[in-house]
Amino acid sequence: MKIAIGADHAGFEYKELLKKQLSKLGHESKDFGTHSLDSVDYPDFAHPVANAVERKEFEIGVLICGSANGVAITANKHQGIRAAICWTEEIASLARQHNNANVVCIPARFVSPELAEKILEKFLTTSFEGGRHENRVNKISC
């Protein structure tokens, strides 16, 4: 699977960890930054990841910031994006099953590195259920 990944300074260390995990799992990823712990603005990384997923250059996006709210709000400004803040494996699973989420947003300040890896793996291995959820997802875009 091709995966776009990005983070602000608060998510930088988790991004680096999750890039290694993606490689171990056999996924191809592109790092949209940031590339250090220096303070940056999360939209500068969330928009490029969302654009890449929206254009279908990548199947899934991964965004990390302190609370995950900023990157999720930014990514969800894009019509083709369904970004979900996931802080448990169950939330990640439901975001995929019921909402067909295509961007996972992880709150680095509120989950452990180990949990972040589990959330990402659950997000990547869970499929959209379709059915009654399809009609709901189709109503999201205006």
Whether 55 and 102 have beta carbons less than 8 Å apart is answered as no
Does residue 105 carry a catalytic annotation?
no
Does residue 98 carry a catalytic annotation?
yes
What is the domain partition of the chain in residue ranges?
Answer: 2-138
Is the pLDDT reported for residue 51 higher than 70?
yes
Average pLDDT (50-72) is 98
Q: Among the residues of 9-112, which ranges form H helices?
A: 12-24, 43-54, 69-75, 89-99
Tell me, what's the pLDDT at 47?
A: 98
Considering the candidates 65, 78, 86, 105, report the single residue annotated as catalytic: 65
Q: How confident is the model at residue 67 (pLDDT cuts 50, 70, 90)?
A: very high
Q: What is the CATH number of domain 2-138?
A: 3.40.1400.10
Q: List the one residue out of 17, 18, 77 whose CA is nearest residue 42.
A: 77
Is the pLDDT reported for residue 19 higher than 70?
yes
Q: List the one residue out of 33, 38, 107, 99 whose CA is nearest residue 71.
A: 107
**Euclidean distance between CA atoms 11 and 27, whole angstroms:** 20
Tell me, what's the pLDDT at 135?
A: 80
Average pLDDT (74-94) is 97
